[in-house]
Structure 1
């Protein structure tokens, strides 16, 4: 299911704001940059043609697509999040935590995938750290056991849309469906709706910020991109995390969307290194 890569071999290049009011958020998070993909990132793939498998022919994609299609045939009501104060509408995503101590956040996109997510969860459990997982609804609905495992281990589960489309190409109703249905699955499985979301490809627009806020979510981008979707080698991924390590950094990696064995192996190398350097690997809380 490669959607942050070229149409044939990638899936994601592209929520850290905690669920907070504007004043509280200003005290917790720092913003920087714009919502646009950064220069040098590969262009997003064209929207798949009608009937085309958006998974790009990845192993098991046919089964996933069939499951997602069956789900789409079910009657769907507008998703309404749990009653709570809504966050303000942002004009850009958050990119980092405040530089208060040696704190970093590890994030993983596109899963859950039974081939790679369990190994990542085992490593995080071994070192007793928490991470953020931005899941796609069509993957989450088929691997609810992994979603429960994430929640049981204390990880933060974010919304990465249903089918990983290029958000700016969708009408507002399409954005609402992509985000709303994914939030619905997360709440059904974990008992709580997500408080963060990340746009596929890092491609945000005004409607996505507005609809995300209506659904009770804050937008999160990243400040260190491992580019692990390019499969550059375990050592290169490790070096990118080590070189980018700094207070407040948010690291982008993937646990699905292609062969993520290098991402799994790299985590086992750089995580103990970060901890040895006195970094605190954390997640945002309310």
Structure 2
């Protein structure tokens, strides 16, 4: 038989580490994220779908679109979700000169702060296109760069069940990439949250260091 010490060591390797502040039934957290909004045709249905399953998400908004749809940005925040900076015009940032990278991030910070009274702490480069210069500029503006661990490729026209299958590949601490411009993505919300909960995972928040934590 294993000695008590060996048994403790064995359990450390097989038992999941549950966050100290985890909600009942949650052995870990994953982040639901939605890019490219606010899209006037889909933001409200998406917010309603998230509310129905009591899930919160991070919306990486494009500055120019936020300026056009300030009411939707405010609704997103009032619903308890978090906002991130997704640049002003959604360019490939690594192709731009430094001063344009600065403006893309700064203008978006300014408009989201003006609309909500809050300054975003998270930044996602369009297309995941980044390098040391982009990351350094984001840090200079007080932003943590956030990419993803699971890409649902919902933008490509895949059906809802394919989005769900991809999302359910997430592990604790994972970040799921989706977009707010597709009905298939809206329809996936209850199936994704239900499937994650079966795995003991719950929707979480991305902190200022880019880590997924309890909401």
TM-score, normalisation: structure 1: 0.62
Larger strand share, 1 or 2: 2
| Deviations 1:64-109, CA, capped at 9 Å, x for gaps | xxxxxxxxxxxxxxxxxxxxxxxxxxxxxxxxxx984321110000
- Bigger radius of gyration: 2
| Alpha-carbon distance, 1:250 to partner | 0.5
- Tell me how large the CA RMSD over aligned residues is: 1.6
| Alpha-carbon distance, 1:275 to partner | 2.6
Tell me the residue number matched to 2:97: 171
Tell me the residue number matched to 1:281: 203
Tell me the residue number matched to 1:75: none
| Alpha-carbon distance, 1:268 to partner | 2.7
Contact 2:149–2:170 (8 Å) recurs in 1: no
Question: SS at the partner of 1:128?
Answer: coil
Kindly report which structure 2 residues correspond to 1:1-286, keeping only aligned pairs within 5 A, or say none: 100=19, 101-242=27-168, 244-256=169-181, 260-285=182-207
| Alpha-carbon distance, 1:273 to partner | 2.4
| Alpha-carbon distance, 1:155 to partner | 1.1
Q: Number of aligned pairs?
A: 185
Query: Distance in 2 between the 1:230 and 1:146 partners?
Result: 24
| Alpha-carbon distance, 1:124 to partner | 1.2
Query: Distance in 1 between the 2:130 and 2:92 partners?
Result: 9
Tell me the residue number matched to 1:78: none
For structure 2, which runs of at least 5 residues remain unmatched after alignment?
1-16, 20-26, 209-215
Query: Distance in 2 between the 1:181 and 1:191 partners?
Result: 15
Contact 2:88–2:105 (8 Å) recurs in 1: yes
| Deviations 1:153-206, CA, capped at 9 Å, x for gaps | 221100000110010110111001111001101100111111000001101122
| Alpha-carbon distance, 1:285 to partner | 4.1
For structure 1, which runs of at least 5 residues remain unmatched after alignment?
1-97
Query: Distance in 2 between the 1:283 and 1:148 partners?
Result: 18
Tell me the residue number matched to 2:212: none
Larger helix share, 1 or 2: 2
| Deviations 1:188-229, CA, capped at 9 Å, x for gaps | 011111100000110112221121111111000000000111
